[in-house]
C-alpha cells in the first residue's frame, strides 16, 4: 500500500531549526533548513545524519523547499549545501531569494567576526548556496529538476552551477500559496500523482497593516503539516493590542525613559514602525525613534521591489505615498545609546540572542525608567526567553552578571497564526490527516485533541528524529464538466452527505488527467459520431411453422405475461418490447427449430436479460400449432 513518511530533523515538538523530511510516492523532499537561535554549537543545526547515512545527499533528495527568510527556517542552508554536501535544487519565492542572503550574512558576521565561532559557513559559501536557488511565483506549478552535476571537487569557486539541468522530473510538482507572516512567505503543496502534502511554514490568517492574510484553496491533501507556535493562544483584538502598545511606549518616553523594541529586520519591524509613525504624527511627539543602521534602507528597497506581496491598501496608495518612507524614524548610531533623555529604538535581532539589540539591552537594563517590549516569540536559550520567563539576573558572556531593572513587557505582534487561525486553515484545506511542528509539546497536545475532535481526522506531533508513516488509499482525481454539474443541479435535489449521488457521463483521459463530461460533449471534443451499441442473444425454439407464425406466437405469449410493458407486432413480422427487438429466423440445420434473435441497447440491459430468460423457458403452443 502506498504511504507518506514524515521525519522532523528540527522543529519536532520544538521551535527553531525547522527542517522536515517528507517521502511521498518514492520522492524525498526537505521542507526548510533552519537554525536554532538558542545554541552556539552544532546543536544549532538540524540532525542531518538521518539523511547522510542514505549515501550521497543529492541522489537521495529530490529538492529542498524554503518557506521564508527567517533564520529558523533558512539559517542552516549554506551549511547544508556547502559543508554537508547537498548539490541539488532549492526552491523559494522571489522575495525570499532576495532577502535570505542578506540575513545569512548579517548573522555570519555576528557569529564569526564578532564571536569568533568555528565550523561556520563563509560569505562565499552563502553566495555559492544561493546559486542553487530556483525562484517560484505564487500559484505557479513547478516540476523540480532531476539535477545532474559533476562531482563537487571539479567546480572552482568561480563556476556558476546552472539551476536548470536538462533532465526534468515529470512526477513531482510543487505549488506556492500566500502565507502572510513576512514578505515572500509561502505555504507549499507537494504532489506526486494523486498523493499530496501541504507544508505551511509560518503563516498568519489575519491581515495586518502591510501584509494580507494567508490563503489556500480546498486542495484536500493527504497530509497538512502546520506550524503550532501559538497552539493554545487566542489573541485579543488587534486594536486593543495596538492601543496598549502605544500607551506603554508613550508613558515611558513621557517620564524620560528609553524603549527598546527587539525585532527582526523585516516583518513585525515594518508593522510597528507604521504604527508608531502614525501615532507620533498625530500626537506631535518629539522623542526620537531609531532603527538599526542600514536595515531601514534595505527593508524599504525590498518592499518597493515586491510591492505586489503587500496588502491591498499599501498597493493602492504606494504611488502617492510610500508607507515605508518614515518621517519620524531615523537610522541608529551605536553612540546614540548613551544619549540622555527619552528615545525609542528598533534593534535587531528579535530574540536578544546577539547583535545590536543585545548590546543596547545590556546598556539600558539597569535603569528602571527604561522598558523593553518583546513583540514576538523567543525560543528557549535566548536572552529574550529568559527575561520573559521572569529571570532578572542573567549570566552574560565572560560570566558577567547582569541585573535587569528595566520593565519587561511581552506584547504579541507575532505574525504566526493563533489557535483559531490554525483551526481555520485546517477547515479551509480539508486534509485527510494533520501533523503539527514548530511548537511546544504541551501546547501541541491540546491542539491535537481539538483538531481530532472537530475535524474527525488523525493528528500527529512527532519529536525530532521520529518518523510518522501514513498509509494512503489509492485514488484517482476526476474533474467534472460544468455542463454536467449544471444538469445535476437542475434536478433540484438537496445535497445529502449520507447519500452520495451518482453522476452518469463519459470519462475522458487526457495527459494523465481524468474528466467526466456529458456524452454530447465527449463526442464533440473527440470528433466522433454517435454509434448505438446493441447486444443480441440467440434463443432456440421448437416450432415447425413459418417464421411469421412463430413471431405471432411469441407476441401473443409476451402480451399476456408483460402487462406493464408496450408489446408490439410489426408489419415486417418482428416483435418489440419497449426498445427491445425480437426476430424469428429459420435454423440452418434443423427445419423443426426456429431461432429467436433478441437484441437490446445497454440502457435496457435489465429488461433484455429478463426477456431472454423468459423465452428460454419456452413459449406455449397456439391452437392448431405444429408439432
Quote the CA–CA distance of 515 and 489 in Å, as a whole number: 18
Q: Which of 369, 367, 365 is nearest to 383 (CA)?
A: 365
578 is catalytic: no
Q: Where does residue 506 fall: left (phi above 0), alpha (psi -120 to 50 degrees), or beta otherwise?
A: beta
Place of cell 490563503: 215
DSSP per position, 250-281 = HHHHHTT-EEEEE--TTTHHHHHHHHHHHHHH
Cell numbers for 490: 437542475
Q: Which three cell numbers stand for residue 36?
A: 536554532
Q: Which three cell numbers stand for residue 236?
A: 485579543
Return the ∠ at Cα 379 (arms to 30 and 71), rounded to 5°.
45
Q: Nearest-CA neighbor of 385 among 409, 363, 360, 352?
A: 352
Measured from the Cβ of residue 139, the count of other Cβ atoms closer than 10 Å reads: 11
Task: Return d(Cα 554, Cα 569) in angstroms, integer.
Answer: 9
Classify each residue of 7-21 as buried b or exposed e, where b means 16 or more C-beta atoms within 10 Å of its C-beta: bbbbbbbbbbbbbbb
- Which residues, other chains included, contact 424 with Cβ-Cβ below 8 Å and sequence gap of 6+? 205, 417
DSSP characters over 182-245 = STT-EEEEEEETTEEEEE--S--SS--SSB----------SEEEEE-TBTT-----HHHHHHHH
Instruction: Order the strands of the 478-480 sheet from edge to edge.
Output: 478-480, 513-517, 506-510
CB contact set of 575 (below 8 Å; sequence gap of 6+): 551, 554, 555, 558, 567, 568, 569, 581, 582, 583
Q: Kindly report the backbone phi and psi dihedral angles of residue 432, in degrees, each rounded to the nearest multiple of 5, phi listed first.
A: -75, -35
Write out the E strands in 12-62: 19-24, 27-31
Residue 227 dihedral angles phi and psi, to the nearest 5° = -65, 160
> Are residues 69 and 94 in contact, defined by beta-carbon separation less than 8 angstroms?
no
Classify 190 in phi/psi space as left (phi over 0), alpha (psi -120 to 50) or beta: beta
Taking Cα atoms as reference points, which of 164, 155, 24 lies closest to residue 81? Answer: 155
Taking the alpha carbons at both ends of the chain, their separation in whole angstroms is: 64
* Rounded Cα–Cα distance for residues 617 and 627 (Å): 17
Active-site position among 227, 271, 277, 409: 227
Catalytic residues: 227
Amino acid at each position: 500500500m502506498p504511504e507518506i513518511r514524515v521525519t522532523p530533523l528540527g522543529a519536532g515538538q520544538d521551535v527553531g531549526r525547522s527542517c522536515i523530511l517528507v517521502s511521498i510516492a518514492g520522492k524525498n523532499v526537505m521542507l526548510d533548513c533552519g537554525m536554532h537561535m538558542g545554541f552556539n554549537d552544532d546543536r544549532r543545526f538540524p540532525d542531518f545524519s538521518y539523511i547522510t547515512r542514505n549515501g550521497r545527499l543529492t541522489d537521495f533528495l529530490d529538492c529542498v523547499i524554503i518557506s521564508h527568510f527567517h533564520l529558523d527556517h533558512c539559517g542552516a542552508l549554506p551549511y547544508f549545501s556547502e559543508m554537508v554536501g547537498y548539490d541539488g535544487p532549492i526552491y523559494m519565492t522571489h522575495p525570499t531569494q532576495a532577502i535570505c542572503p542578506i540575513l545569512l550574512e548579517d548573522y555570519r558576521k555576528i557569529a564569526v567576526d564578532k564571536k569568533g565561532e568555528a565550523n561556520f559557513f563563509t560569505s562565499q559559501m552563502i553566495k555559492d548556496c544561493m546559486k542553487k536557488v530556483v525562484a517560484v511565483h505564487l500559484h505557479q506549478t513547478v516540476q523540480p529538476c532531476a539535477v545532474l552535476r559533476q562531482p563537487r571537487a571539479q567546480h572552482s569557486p568561480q563556476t556558476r552551477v546552472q539551476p536548470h539541468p536538462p533532465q526534468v522530473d515529470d512526477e513531482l510538482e510543487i505549488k506556492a500559496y500566500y502565507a502572510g507572516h513576512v514578505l515572500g512567505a509561502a505555504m507549499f503543496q507537494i504532489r506526486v500523482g494523486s498523493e499530496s502534502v501541504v507544508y505551511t511554514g509560518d503563516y498568519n490568517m489575519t491581515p495586518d497593516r502591510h501584509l494580507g492574510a494567508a490563503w489556500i484553496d480546498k486542495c484536500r491533501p493527504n497530509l497538512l503539516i502546520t506550524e503550532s507556535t501559538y497552539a493554545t493562544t487566542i489573541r485579543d483584538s488587534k486594536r486593543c493590542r495596538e492601543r496598549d502598545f502605544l500607551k506603554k511606549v508613550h508613558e515611558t518616553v513621557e517620564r524620560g525613559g528609553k524603549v527598546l523594541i527587539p525585532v527582526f529586520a523585516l516583518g513585525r519591524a515594518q508593522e510597528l514602525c507604521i504604527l508608531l509613525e502614525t501615532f507620533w504624527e498625530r500626537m506631535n511627539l518629539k522623542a526620537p525613534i531609531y532603527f538599526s543602521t542600514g536595515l531601514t534602507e534595505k527593508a524599504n528597497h525590498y518592499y518597493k521591489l515586491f510591492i505586489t506581496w503587500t496588502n491591498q491598501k499599501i498597493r493602492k496608495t504606494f504611488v502617492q505615498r510610500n508607507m515605508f518612507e518614515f518621517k519620524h524614524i531615523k537610522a541608529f548610531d551605536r553612540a546614540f545609546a548613551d544619549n540622555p533623555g527619552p528615545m525609542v529604538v528598533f534593534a535587531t535581532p528579535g530574540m536578544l540572542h546577539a547583535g545590536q539589540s543585545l548590546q543596547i539591552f545590556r546598556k539600558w537594563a539597569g535603569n528602571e525608567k527604561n522598558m523593553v517590549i518583546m513583540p514576538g516569540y523567543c525560543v528557549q536559550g535566548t536572552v529574550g526567553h529568559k527575561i520573559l520567563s521572569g529571570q532578572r539576573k542573567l549570566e552574560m558572556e565572560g560570566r558577567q552578571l547582569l541585573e535587569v531593572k528595566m520593565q519587561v513587557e511581552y506584547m504579541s505582534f507575532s505574525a504566526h497564526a493563533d489557535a483559531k487561525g490554525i483551526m481555520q486553515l485546517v477547515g479551509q484545506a480539508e486534509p485527510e490527516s494533520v501533523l503539527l511542528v514548530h511548537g511546544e509539546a504541551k501546547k501541541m497536545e491540546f491542539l491535537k485533541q481539538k483538531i481530532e475532535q472537530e475535524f474527525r481526522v488523525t493528528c500527529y506531533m512527532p519529536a525530532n528524529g521520529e518518523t510518522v508513516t501514513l498509509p494512503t488509499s489509492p485514488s484517482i482525481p476526476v474533474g467534472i464538466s460544468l455542463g454536467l454539474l449544471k444538469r445535476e443541479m437542475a434536478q433540484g435535489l438537496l445535497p445529502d452527505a449520507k447519500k452520495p449521488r451518482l453522476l452518469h457521463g463519459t470519462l475522458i483521459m487526457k495527459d494523465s488527467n481524468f474528466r467526466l463530461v456529458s456524452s454530447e460533449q465527449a463526442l464533440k471534443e473527440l470528433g466522433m459520431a454517435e454509434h448505438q451499441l446493441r447486444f443480441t442473444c440467440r434463443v432456440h425454439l421448437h416450432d415447425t411453422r413459418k417464421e411469421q407464425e412463430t413471431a405471432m406466437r411469441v407476441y401473443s405469449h409476451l402480451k399476456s405475461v408483460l402487462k406493464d410493458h408496450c408489446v408490439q407486432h410489426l408489419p415486417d413480422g418482428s416483435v418489440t418490447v419497449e426498445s427491445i427487438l425480437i426476430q424469428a429466423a429459420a435454423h440452418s440445420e434443423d427445419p423443426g427449430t426456429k431461432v429467436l434473435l433478441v437484441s437490446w441497447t445497454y440502457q435496457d440491459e435489465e429488461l433484455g436479460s429478463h426477456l431472454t430468460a423468459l423465452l428460454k423457458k419456452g413459449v406455449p403452443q397456439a391452437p392448431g400449432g405444429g408439432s
